[in-house]
Amino acid sequence: MLFRVTSSRTRLLVGVALLFAGLLAGALLLAERLATARAVDGVAERARASAILLASGYRRELDKFNLLPIALAGDAEARAALLTRDPALIEVVNRKLEALSAETGAANVYLLDARGRTVAASNWQLPGSFVGDDYSFRGYFRDAMRAQSAQQFALGQRSRKPGLYITRRIDAGGQALGVFVVKVDFRALEREWREATNAAFVTDGRGIILVSADPAWRFQTIRPLSDEERATARRSLEYGAAPLVENALFRSAVVRREGQAGLHRAAFVEAVEPVHGWQVHVIVGTAAAVASAITFARLAVGIAALGIVALYLLWRHRRRNEETRIAAAADKRLAALREQLIQANKLATLGQVTAGVAHEINQPVAAIGAYAHNAALLLDRDRLPEAREAIGHIAALTERIGSITREMRGFARRAPGEIGRLSVNDVFDGIRLLLRDRLTILGAEFVTSGPDVCVRAERVRVEQVLLNLVQNALDAGARTITATTVETWDRVRIVITDDGPGIDPGMRDALFQPFRTSKQSGLGLGLVISRDIVAELGGTLTAGHPAKGAEFIVELERSE
């Protein structure tokens, strides 16, 4: 039964541990997912804010240069130079454009005639001057001649450096005279972006990267181009020999674009801000933020789990303390009840021997009365020797009565004496004294044999046990009860045998169970109490299997 209860408890504990482990794993998984989602959302918010900031700077840069060709288109000297081709006027325009380029930071500012040839340029004195070059093939020239103004991002024909070309047509008398061109170089802006982030860039309507903090990304795409789009870009000569391949970052499914709700494990998030038909992109990595968020989430779950475990251990500790307190109180009550049972058993046993003890006392008392009367007569007759003899008999009889009453008081006292060195034969003498009258009436005898040895015990308790065993034998009809003492090197065995009918086989297995008895008026507590007393003394009480009668064996610790 104990094994079954222990096994059930173990299975319950294992089940609770597995359930807690499962809940902890689920909490960790949920916390990681929530932390990852929040971290990615936070990165997306920062990317969005960065995109707005960078787009604002990029817009200001464009707005500054967009005004420049509009202002130049109204220049009277430029218009006159186109009409007259006067070298002096052309030089004036060249110097004006040179100063304007230096002042505004434009890469180049130049004037084209109606056929697309350069008439004046800000670099007119440099070896790579545009003066005389034909740009009629450029889209920005053709679009401006047709629609008054235009923009085009392309590689420079001479410098092979990319830039934005902003153009404005010059009219006079309803006739198109030429086009002013301002080239914007974004290299300074790209350097600023590189200091802020390595993943900021600008794309056109086809998704081609034009301006980028990372120069290697320029003229790559954020989506695959169709064959028609690729052919159109080739014909315009805007991108030179660039292959216009899709960017590797966008080719992999690791970028969560703005507006997407999923892709919580995205390695990067993208924010986009439109500027004048183009788009400013900011790409921000999520690895550091996600790792930090997951670490924090795991730590939080771990702390929560430790808190739960600590609360459980505290509850268990308090429960154990309460159980210990209750068990101690129960043990105390049980000990008190057991002591009461032991005392009741002693008093019951004492009640059985009271009649015999009274007879033992009555005889000396009657003799004392006779001796006292005779002593008085002898004193009156001055027969002093005979009187002294009578008084001596009185003293001897009084001592006999005192020994009987002392034995009864010692046996009846409630509190046990101290455990110490105890002679087994002294215990036997006490039993003879208490049972002498009953033995005489029943014609029974109590026989002892074996060496006079000492045990480590308390007299009243041992006397109570042996008296119970002898009384039980007498109650069963035995007429010869033998107590044999056998000693070993550390134990003393007291074997109580009788010539009675023996133990009923049906009662043998229940001998030491409470309320099981073969007596009509018994409670079945004598042997139970006796066994508990011997156990408290560090010994054992068992039933033997003799061929005839009954046998009980009391084993106690030997005392030197």
| CATH number reported for the structural domain that contains residue 169 in this entry | 3.30.450.20
58 pLDDT band, cuts 50/70/90, is confident
d(CA 486, CA 475): 26
Residue bearing the bigger pLDDT, 14 or 138? 138
Count of alpha carbons within 13 Å of 515, Cβ hemisphere only?
A: 0
Residue entry with tokens 């070993």: 488
CATH number of residue 480's parent domain: 3.30.565.10
> Is position 551 within any domain?
yes
pLDDT at 111: 94
If you average pLDDT over residues 135-160, what whole number do you get? Answer: 87
The mean per-residue pLDDT over the stretch 12-33 comes to 77
Element (H, E) at 138: none
Confidence of residue 249 (pLDDT cuts 50, 70, 90): confident
Q: What angle separates helix 287-380 from helix 384-412, to the nearest 10 degrees?
A: 160
Q: What does DSSP assign to residue 216?
A: G
In order of 306, 316, 321, 499, the CA distances from 313 in angstroms are 10, 5, 12, 61
- Does position 384 have pLDDT exceeding 70, yes or no? yes
Say what the pLDDT of residue 525 is.
63
3-class secondary-structure state, position 545: coil
Opening angle at CA 553, ends 548 and 557, nearest 5: 160
Of 165, 185, 205, which one is at a domain's C-terminal end? Answer: 185
Take residue 534 and report the two structure tokens written for it: 């011997």
Check residue 504 and give its pLDDT: 79
Q: What is the pLDDT of residues 284-317, one digit of tens each?
A: 877 787 788 778 878 887 888 788 888 888 888 8
Most confident of 12-21, 275-284, 532-541: 532-541
Average pLDDT over residues 365-390: 73
The verdict on residue 79 lying in a domain is yes
Please identify, among 136, 170, 185, the residue that sits at the C-terminal boundary of a domain. 185
Contact between 245 and 216 under an 8 Å Cβ cutoff? The reply is: no
Radius of gyration, CA atoms only, the chain: 60
What's the pLDDT at 315?
84
What are the residues whose beta carbons fall under 8 Å from the beta carbon of 49, sequence distance 6 or more?
Answer: none
The answer to whether residue 2 scores a pLDDT higher than 50 is no
pLDDT of 125: 92
Task: Look at residue 209 and tell me if it is in a domain.
Answer: no
- Percentage of residues in the chain having pLDDT higher than 90: 21
Kindly state whether residue 510 falls inside one of the protein's structural domains: yes
At 445, list the tokens. 């005898």
Confidence band, pLDDT 50/70/90 cuts, at residue 379:
confident
- The mean pLDDT of 75-82, rounded to a whole number, is 90
User: What does the alpha-carbon distance between residue 383 and residue 374 come to, in Å, rounded to a whole number?
Assistant: 11
Q: pLDDT confidence of 481, banded at 50, 70, 90?
A: very high
For residue 90, being part of any structural domain is answered with yes
- Rounded Cα distance between 89 and 85, Å, is 7
**242-249: long-range pairs with CB below 8 Å, 24+:** 242/218, 243/219, 244/208, 244/219, 244/220, 245/220, 245/221, 246/220, 246/221, 246/222, 247/209, 247/217, 247/220, 247/221, 247/222, 249/283
Distance, in Å, from the CA atom of 265 to the CA atom of 132, rounded to the nearest integer, reads 57
How many domains does the chain contain in total?
A: 2
Mean pLDDT of all residues in the chain? 80
- Model confidence at 366: pLDDT above 60: no
401 vs 415: CA distance, rounded Å = 24
Residues spanned by the domain of 151: 73-185
- Asked whether the predicted pLDDT for residue 539 surpasses 80, the reply is yes
508 within a domain of the structure (yes/no): yes
Q: Which residue has the higher pLDDT, 228 or 97?
A: 97
pLDDT at 363 over 70: no
Asked whether residue 372 is assigned to any structural domain, the reply reads no
Asked which of 134, 156, 185 is the last residue of a domain, the reply is 185
Residue 534 in any domain: the answer is yes
Alpha helices by DSSP H, 105-240: 139-147, 187-196, 227-236
Mean pLDDT calculated for residue range 358-364:
55
DSSP string, 74-125: T-HHHHHHHHH--HHHHHHHHHHHHHHHHHHT-SEEEEEETTSBEEEETTTT
